[in-house]
């Protein structure tokens, strides 16, 4: 039968055992992590804008003789280009030097 004293003989061993179980937290992010977060933020911004525009679609009807024509104008679905444009703007903002 093992006891606590058999498993960890010193406070240093106990501290090392706890340290190995504790998740490692890094404060500084590398360039890839920053760009990945910026892309995620840009995607969210673009799709939130699209969602807001979705509620503003236009419907119009016109009658020409016996036929009725209905026209629906929907917002354009954003693509990669729009996300990259917003990401570039965010990246430029992050890289600005502060004006003190």
Does residue 22 lie in a domain region?
Answer: no
Does residue 42 lie in a domain region?
Answer: yes
H-state helical runs in 22-63: 31-54
Does residue 5 lie in a domain region?
Answer: no
CA distance 29 to 57: 41
Q: What is the pTM for the complete model shown?
A: 0.56
H-state helical runs in the chain: 4-7, 11-21, 31-54, 80-95
Does residue 49 lie in a domain region?
Answer: yes
Spatial neighbors of 34 by CB under 8 A, at least 6 apart, are 94
| Per-residue confidence (pLDDT) for residue 98, from 0 to 100 | 64
Q: Which residue has the tokens 């990259």?
A: 84
Q: How confident is the model at residue 15 (pLDDT cuts 50, 70, 90)?
A: confident
Does residue 6 lie in a domain region?
Answer: no
Does residue 58 lie in a domain region?
Answer: yes
Spatial neighbors of 69 by CB under 8 A, at least 6 apart, are 61, 62, 63
CA distance 85 to 42: 8
pLDDT reading at 58 higher than 80: no
Identify the domain containing residue 43 by its residue range: 30-63+71-78
Does residue 9 lie in a domain region?
Answer: no
CA distance 70 to 6: 83
Does residue 17 lie in a domain region?
Answer: no
The total domain count for the chain is: 1
């Amino acid at each position: 039968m093992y006891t606590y004293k058999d498993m960890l003989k010193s406070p240093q061993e106990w501290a090392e055992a706890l340290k190995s179980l504790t998740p490692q937290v890094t404060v500084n992010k590398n360039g890839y992590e920053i760009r990945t977060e910026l892309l995620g933020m840009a995607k969210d911004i673009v799709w939130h804008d699209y969602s807001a525009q979705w509620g503003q679609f236009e419907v119009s009807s016109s009658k020409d003789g016996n036929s009725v024509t209905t026209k629906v104008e929907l917002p354009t679905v954003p693509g990669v280009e729009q996300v990259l444009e917003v990401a570039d703007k965010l990246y430029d903002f992050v890289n600005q030097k502060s004006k003190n």
